[in-house]
Structure 1
């Protein structure tokens, strides 16, 4: 199979296939890491499917907060399914694991869509907590079912459209050898490093989209939580403060993890010696965070725990009755 095509006029080697180096680990650790990542993938899918099922199953969870939580699970499933399968494949195949440029761009497209949609969703979730805590009397009116569906559909549409802006421009580029990306998935920076075309337009679009869909949501979330914290401190009793804060603590933890890793990877200047650290942090927000999100919400949310206990008890009763 031919992996390259020659350009006669400039004598450059145009590549059509790339190799993701992934994690360069000793052979003895390869299978251990493979099964560890496979287990993480299974836990992520099962945990997020559980959240979606619980929210759909229980009428007590039919509220905006849990509706948004189920959508977060959908986005986490999309992200991990985009990244995990090829990463696992490349760990087994090592040097022979390759990916076409078109598939690499498609992987980046769905990665961009899932990350953008999660930024927007976490922003909507912060607004939901702001209304619930700061304007409780208007909560039912402001957070109607129609509003929730409009915000979710808008988030998905904007995410798919912004991802297309990247993808269309990247697909116009030419990519030259060497055909190696020192990463475990096709991110924008590593893709552009392979290009022998002018990437100015793509970089400008990237900056603009990051400002609109990443920086602006962060500012909105920070402002929302300033109002939330001020409102919480106005509550006279410590017990009351703790009870109110517990309703948004899970969201705050998820936001901190998500944006903390993104800021480290994309805003802190990269140096050669930090490459492995960058890959490790990228692993956190592409694989670990989607796995941890359902656990955080399940352990810190009384309603979810009650629904899980009820389902487990019903299952045990049916099982015991059968025998």
Structure 2
């Protein structure tokens, strides 16, 4: 089955708090205080620059040079070489991991996302994303998936998802280029012989223009699903009294898994989410067979409004 996308209210962890060491994505922030960006849970707006500490109770301290004013003024004579810097950082990271493990397996397991279900967010498909920052994600196991996440799902523009046998985590980046670099690096870590393997790159470009004869005066979204898995969604808007609603939104989805069908599901913008009002399923083979961009009306069916 296709791995599920993150839930709309799942946490997005700040990737700058993590480092890649020997095939493991390691938390380098303070214990239990990896920051994640806050989002408006009722929409897709983001609070850029806001950092929260989901477990820690102290205000965040200035990081790096801000914490040590003399650090920025340090001259070249006192700077270690790049190789020694990497060796020192790598040693400190593994030292911290050993210290965490020595304090007891219970805490490490909770940080790794294998603790009780109370520390996780259930998605519609039954998967769970932990509310606790992962101390370490092992990318050397089988079946590791690293893929971009559309911003309409998590309310962040530049995000990616890491799926392992232990579960899934979503990470946010500052720019598109940074996200693409992380995805490529983590994929090569999970599959070192990536360049020697045959692979298929799948993408989908889709406009969602408008709807007619919809339930009037209700806030509605259109969910884009591949084989039943949510990959993107439109903005929530209220249909007019005449049942017409205009979105005019373009979706360009890349790095997609193999799929057979695209489903457009019309959903009410409710909390908790309600079942779809109606939907239409389109075979992807039909879209792929078109020699030019296809524009047409599709009739929705099912549901009761």
* Fold conserved between structures, TM > 0.5: no
Shorter chain as normaliser: what TM range? under 0.3
Q: Which structure features the higher share of helix residues?
A: 1
| Larger relative contact order (Cα-Cα within 8 Å, sequence gap ≥ 6) | 1
Larger strand fraction of residues: 2
Q: TM-score, normalised by structure 2?
A: 0.24
- Give TM-score scaled by structure 1 length: 0.24
